[in-house]
Structure 1
Amino acid sequence: MQIERSPVIILVRPQMGENIGAAARAMLNFGLTEMRLVDPRDGWPNPKAVAMASGAAGRVLDHARVYPTLAEAMEGIEYAYATTARGRELTKPVLTPEAAMTEARAREGRSAIIFGPERTGLENDDIARASAIVTVPVNPDFPSLNLAQAVLLMGYEYGRDILPPEPAPHLRRGIAETPADRIEIERLGDHYDDQLTQAGFFFPETKAASMRLNLRNMWSRLALTQGDVRILHGILRQLTRR
């Protein structure tokens, strides 16, 4: 599924083919299909990127376009977001991923999200070509994100209010998955009460009533299935036989 007018993902001077392939996978997870590469270090095409993209995401790479400079890669883009923790000395709006992608969804023209090279991130010359800065609120002691992680995060924020929610999987419930009813749990409690009484568990006599109450209360708190109840009965039978 491709989202209409979805943002272009621009990877500036990406270093590792594996990260480009992983970014393609992250893009397709959220319906983003247009990738542009600026001066990839190891050239293009890159077999390591194809191997990492794995399957359907390979078509993102098949249509990826390569540019010598970021300025040329901005062809047809009306508004661009630079993902960086740097560049604060430049006068630009600084947004969270959620705020930036909410804004991008509302725009009529084409937007782009710009990601820098793995080792250094975007330089100020790159950031100067963007309309706004996107900074992820992360642990200040470890602010670095993997390239594919950053693409995934931005893709999620863009697509989460557009893509249809996935329905919960339909389970064919057998005995193993069907919740036990109160009577089944009551009988299980009786079985354990009887056997534990015979084993002398409820001792001393002055505490027996509160011990029984706590045990019964424990059974009622557990979210047991019919399968669970059968197993617990079986365990107790086997122990008492011995």
Structure 2
Amino acid sequence: MPSDTPQPAFVLIRPQMGENIGAAARAMWNFGLDRMRVVAPRDGWPNPSAVAMASGAGRLLDEAVLAGDVAEGIADRTFVYATTARPRELTKPVFTPEAAMRDAANRIARGEKVAVMFGPERAGMENADIAQANAIITVPVNPDFPSLNLAQCVLLVGYEWRRAVEEAEEMVLRGQRTELAEGAEIEALARHYEERMDEAGFFYPPEKADSMKLNLRNLWSRMPLTRADVQMLHGMMRQLVRWKDKG
């Protein structure tokens, strides 16, 4: 059974190649989407090529809803987006994928039933298909090469869905020892280097010593050092001093 997570249904309109259906299933599952609907697939259903390509996402294909035409595929939906790269003479709201999935998330939170339609690989959806949608999703692609592979389009919209419903930090520091150094630790490191470098005659000529030390302090403060980094830098300087003394 599909998960209980509120989400849009992804509707593949007359897909032509089983491999693309399977790849679309994998793309959906990457972002926690499991409501696939397949409308009039060219090579029938179920499709062995789709199963082979889906790999670990085969469950989506087992639970996919098969429909004979677009009207049947979206019959229970209250708001439908159609993905298309080509200009249409139909008057409809046109969203970017990011804005569309934010809108979809808000609609689903209000209890609406949402679907996103994806057209066949060769030429995309016909106007008769898009006329049944409430809005259009258009990806800002190269106008000289606007066609996206079916699975690529599914992946892109799925990614934007995930971004719309799940907070993710834009940048995190990961690793075994990622605790950032505190100000006192940075200060001790700066003093250690100043003292040893002063002994080595680095701060020369004397009239430039203060500005050189200031620049060195500024260097340490600009670097997002972890406690492990600070310990390593202390150790490097101690070893250099020992090596010098051995000579």
Give the TM bin, normalised by the shorter chain. Answer: 0.7 to 0.9
Q: Whole-Å Cα distance in 2 between the matches of residues 178 and 89 of structure 1? A: 56
Amino acid at match of 2:121: E
Structure 1 residues 105-164: Cα deviation after superposition (integer angstroms, max 9, x where no partner): 267564332101233221223223333322234454554434234324434555656x56
Displacement after TM superposition at 1:23 (Å): 2.2
Q: Which runs of 5+ in 1 are unaligned?
A: none
Q: Whole-Å Cα distance in 2 between the matches of residues 107 and 220 of structure 1? A: 48
Structure 1 residues 51-102: Cα deviation after superposition (integer angstroms, max 9, x where no partner): 44343x3221101133443344344344432111335212334344424525
Please state if 1:58 is matched with 2:65: no
RMSD over aligned CA atoms reads 3.3
The answer to whether the 8 A contact 1:105-1:158 is kept is: no
**Structure 2 residue aligned with 1:117:** 120
Corresponding residue SS for 1:208: helix
**Structure 2 residue aligned with 1:132:** 135
Q: Whole-Å Cα distance in 1 between the matches of residues 202 and 144 of structure 2? A: 53
The answer to whether the 8 A contact 1:101-1:157 is kept is: no
Structure 1 residues 9-64: Cα deviation after superposition (integer angstroms, max 9, x where no partner): 21123234343223223434555432221233444333443344343x32211011
Return the TM-score normalized by structure 1: 0.76
Amino acid at match of 2:125: L
In structure 2, relative to structure 1, the CA distance for the partners of 1:53 and 1:218 (3 Å cut) is: same
**Structure 2 residue aligned with 1:83:** 83
Which of 104, 108, 114 is the matching residue for 1:105? 108
Q: Which runs of 5+ in 2 are unaligned?
A: none
Q: Whole-Å Cα distance in 2 between the matches of residues 129 and 39 of structure 1? A: 16
Percent of matched pairs sharing the same residue: 59
The answer to whether the 8 A contact 2:83-2:119 is kept is: yes
Please state if 1:27 is matched with 2:28: yes
Corresponding residue SS for 1:11: strand
In structure 2, relative to structure 1, the CA distance for the partners of 1:216 and 1:157 (3 Å cut) is: closer
Q: Whole-Å Cα distance in 2 between the matches of residues 132 and 192 of structure 1? A: 62
The answer to whether the 8 A contact 1:193-1:212 is kept is: yes
Q: Whole-Å Cα distance in 2 between the matches of residues 109 and 178 of structure 1? A: 44
**Structure 2 residue aligned with 1:225:** 226
The answer to whether the 8 A contact 1:87-1:124 is kept is: no
Displacement after TM superposition at 1:227 (Å): 1.1
Corresponding residue SS for 1:180: coil
The answer to whether the 8 A contact 2:13-2:39 is kept is: yes
**Structure 2 residue aligned with 1:212:** 213
In structure 2, relative to structure 1, the CA distance for the partners of 1:87 and 1:177 (3 Å cut) is: closer
Corresponding residue SS for 1:231: helix
Corresponding residue SS for 2:115: strand
**Structure 2 residue aligned with 1:200:** 201
Q: Aligned pair count?
A: 234
